[in-house]
Structure 1
Amino acid sequence: MATRDETARAIARHERKEAVRRGVRRVVVFLAFLVALALLYTGYKAFGESINDAQTEWPVIGRVLPRTNDLTMPPIMDIVTELGQPPQRNSSKPLAAFIAEASLFTFREAAFGFFFGMMLGLALAIIMLRSRWIERGLSPYLVASQTIPLVAIAPIVVIWGSKSMGWLPFDWQPWMSVSIIATYLTFFPVAMNGIKGLQSADPAAMELMRSYAASRRQTLLKLQFPASLPYLFAAFKLAATVSIVGAIVGEISGGVPGGLGRLILDYASRYTTGPSRLYASVMGAAVLGIVVFGMVTVTEYFVMYKRQEGSAAP
Structure 2
Amino acid sequence: MGSRARTVLTTVAAFVLLVAAWELAKLVLPAAGVTFGGVRLLPRADDAAMPHVWTVLAKLGAPEVAGAADPRSVGVAVASGALFTLGLALGGLVLGGVGGVLLALLMQRFALAERAVLPYVIASQTVPLIAIAPLVAGWGGRIAIAGWAWQPWASVMVIASYLAFFPIAVGMLRGLNSPPKADVELFHSMASGWWTTLLRLRLPASVPHLVPAVRLAAAAAVVGAIVAEISTGTRGGVGRLIIEYAQSATGDPSQMYAAIGGAAVLGLVAAGAVGLLDLGLRRYRGAVS
Please, what TM-score do these two structures have when normalized by structure 2? 0.92
Distance 1:178 1:171 in 2: 15
Residue 99 (structure 1) aligns with: 78
Match of 1:34 among 15, 18, 26: 15
Distance 1:115 1:287 in 2: 20
Q: Report if aligned partners of 1:48, 1:69 keep a CA contact under 8 Å in 2.
A: no
Distance 2:41 2:195 in 1: 60
Residue 6 (structure 1) aligns with: none
Distance 2:250 2:267 in 1: 27
Give the percent of matched residue pairs that are identical in Structure 1 and Structure 2.
40
- The letter of the residue matching 2:50 is M
Moved segments of 4+, more than 6 Å: none
Residues 1:52 and 1:79: Cα distance change in structure 2 (over 3 Å): closer
- The letter of the residue matching 2:214 is F
- 1:204-223 alignment to 2 at 5 Å? 204-223=182-201
Distance 1:254 1:43 in 2: 37
Match of 1:129 among 102, 108, 111: 108
Distance 1:92 1:231 in 2: 47
Higher helix share: 1
1:254 is aligned to 2:232: yes
Q: Which runs of 5+ in 1 are unaligned?
A: 1-19, 54-58
Pairs aligned (count):
282
How far the C-alpha of 1:168 sits from its partner, in A, is: 4.1
More divergent stretch after superposition (248-257 vs 291-300)? 291-300
Distance 1:65 1:227 in 2: 48
How far the C-alpha of 1:173 sits from its partner, in A, is: 1.6
Aligned-residue RMSD, C-alpha: 2.1
How far the C-alpha of 1:308 sits from its partner, in A, is: 6.3
Residue 205 (structure 2) aligns with: 227
Q: Which runs of 5+ in 2 are unaligned?
A: none
Residues 1:82 and 1:253: Cα distance change in structure 2 (over 3 Å): same
Cα deviations by residue, 1:201-251 (Å, 9 ceiling, x for unpaired): 122221121122222111111110110111111110110000000000000
Residue 70 (structure 1) aligns with: 47
How far the C-alpha of 1:94 sits from its partner, in A, is: 1.0
Match of 1:108 among 57, 64, 87: 87
Distance 2:201 2:262 in 1: 41
Distance 1:169 1:202 in 2: 52
1:185 is aligned to 2:166: no
Distance 1:52 1:280 in 2: 23
Match of 1:281 among 249, 256, 259: 259
Distance 1:297 1:104 in 2: 19
Which structure would you say has the larger Rg? Answer: 1
